[in-house]
Amino acid sequence: MLVFYKDRLVILSMPKTGTTALQSALGARADLVITGPPELKHAPLYRYDRFFRPIYEKVCDTTLETLAVVREPVSWLGSWYRYRQRPFLEGKPNSTANVNFDEFVEAYCRGARPAFANVGSQARFVAPRPDGAPITHLFRYEAPERLFDFLEHRIGLRPEPQRENVSPATALELSDKMRDKLRRKCAEDFELYDSIP
């Protein structure tokens, strides 16, 4: 999470959307950089609303706008799948070493997900608490120039992120049947992505 107090902006760090590289590129310019633990670095909007927003509203008498980057849902899951292929996870419950991508997505579509497919939801990440404000700005991972243009205008610095935290290269093959099931079971994630211009 990056907080730009003077610019009234918070960048939430949705996992697997390049925000670690964005943190490295903009961290020196931010007023607050949360790099860990993961529960705070990757705090979703509802956690920001509960713990961080009240600090700025009560102590500083101000409200900050929120920003998140969203990735095309199949690509997002593919990044998680590849990330969990790393050798040091082999033999652990969250390893995807012994499943193919179709099996990973099928497990993700279940009500009770096994550990290796329990990676959250982008739609839930940006969903506000019942009394919270909706996310202010959404950008597509696949269109970084729009995000960079916005940040250059808003905070006066155009990020030039380097690739970080890159998942191992692995072929991702998803059957049409499984793609349809994912689209049906996780419609809110596709709707979220499709809503971003």
124-164 residue pLDDT tens? 999 999 888 899 999 999 999 999 999 999 999 999 988 87
Strand order through the sheet with 137-140: 32-33, 2-4, 9-11, 65-70, 137-140
Tokens of 141: 């991972």
At residue 165, the pLDDT reads 72
At residue 40, the pLDDT reads 95
User: Given the structure tokens 């099928």, which residue do they identify?
Assistant: 106
What does the alpha-carbon distance between residue 158 and residue 31 come to, in Å, rounded to a whole number?
A: 16
Residues of the chain with pLDDT under 70: 168
What range does the domain containing 143 cover? 2-194
At residue 164, the pLDDT reads 74
At residue 166, the pLDDT reads 72
CA distances from 74 to 53, 71, 80, 172 (A): 31, 8, 10, 10
Across the chain, what does the average pLDDT equal? 95
Question: What is the CATH number for 87?
Answer: 3.40.50
At residue 42, the pLDDT reads 96
pTM of the model: 0.94
**How many domains does the chain fold into?**
1
